[in-house]
Amino acid sequence: MIVASGGSRDWAAYYTKTGARPPRPNLLFALDRFEAETSDTPRLAVDLGAGGGRDVIEMLRRGWRVMAIDGEAAAAEALRARSDLPVGASFETKTARFEDADWPGCDLVNSSFALPLCTPDQFPLVWQKITYSLNSGGRFAGQFYGERDSWAGREGMTFHTQHEVEALLLGLEIEFFEEEEDDSKTPRGEAKHWHVFHVVAQLRLG
């Protein structure tokens, strides 16, 4: 994981370094679950904090329509410049903070390592927008940072205990829940303790 703590230049470097990495395992789990279900029309995913598109590419490869939202213009540029965009890919980019952005009803909201970058006061509204935007049977896939993460307490970021994550997911059916704790160095050499909850949850069919 690359630390990108500040301005656009940091994120542009992050996209260059990580864009070609494989999609996140919890996203793959969610996509496989959808593939086991039938659908007459191409499904729509919204990727919040899509970055350079490592997850977006996989969704497009599997025939999804994707709205990629990121606060950095460099993210949309990086995604659009990718040489591995599938021919005929149906996607839209939006440069906006997810606190401010609107997005349509969708089958999947994916947000990999991005939601914790929301301030604690804005987080409840963002989470409400996510859950309200899910179609019946839709899924959320993403990460929450735990209270033992070494970034816990950083200004502008949101951290959750396991209990708090479970409370957020009430009303959804948890299909994938992994708690990760490990120590590693960021590519910039910063030692970091990761405490991350990896989640897939489905809005029950109504």
Ligand X SMILES: C[S@@+](CC[C@H](N)C(=O)[O-])C[C@H]1O[C@@H](n2cnc3c(N)ncnc32)[C@H](O)[C@@H]1O
Binding residue for ligand X (CB under 6 A) from 44, 71, 82, 202? 71
Total binding residues for ligand X by CB under 6 A? 19
Residue 33 CB partners (closer than 8 Å, separation 6+): 139, 175, 200, 202
18 binds ligand X (CB under 6 A): yes
Q: How far is the CB of 107 from ligand X (least distance, A)?
A: 18
Q: How far is CA 7 from CA 23, 68, 74, 191, in A?
A: 24, 20, 11, 21
Residue closer to ligand X by CB (options 124, 173) is: 124
The HSE-up count of residue 125 (CA atoms within 13 Å, CB side) is 11
Residue type, 138: G
Binding residue for ligand X (CB under 6 A) from 64, 98, 144, 159? 98
Q: Which stretch binds ligand X (CB under 6 A): 30-38, 107-115, 168-176, 191-199?
A: 107-115
Assigned token pair, 11: 């994120």
Q: Which stretch binds ligand X (CB under 6 A): 35-43, 49-57, 183-191, 194-202?
A: 49-57
E runs forming strands in the chain: 44-48, 65-70, 91-95, 106-111, 134-146, 159-160, 172-185, 191-203
Q: In this structure, what DSSP letter does residue 116 have?
A: G
97 binds ligand X (CB under 6 A): yes
> Binding string, 117-156, against ligand X, x = CB under 6 A?
xx--------------------------------------
The HSE-up count of residue 114 (CA atoms within 13 Å, CB side) is 29
59 binds ligand X (CB under 6 A): no
Binding site for ligand X (CB under 6 A): 11, 18, 49-51, 54-55, 70-72, 75, 97-99, 112-114, 117-118
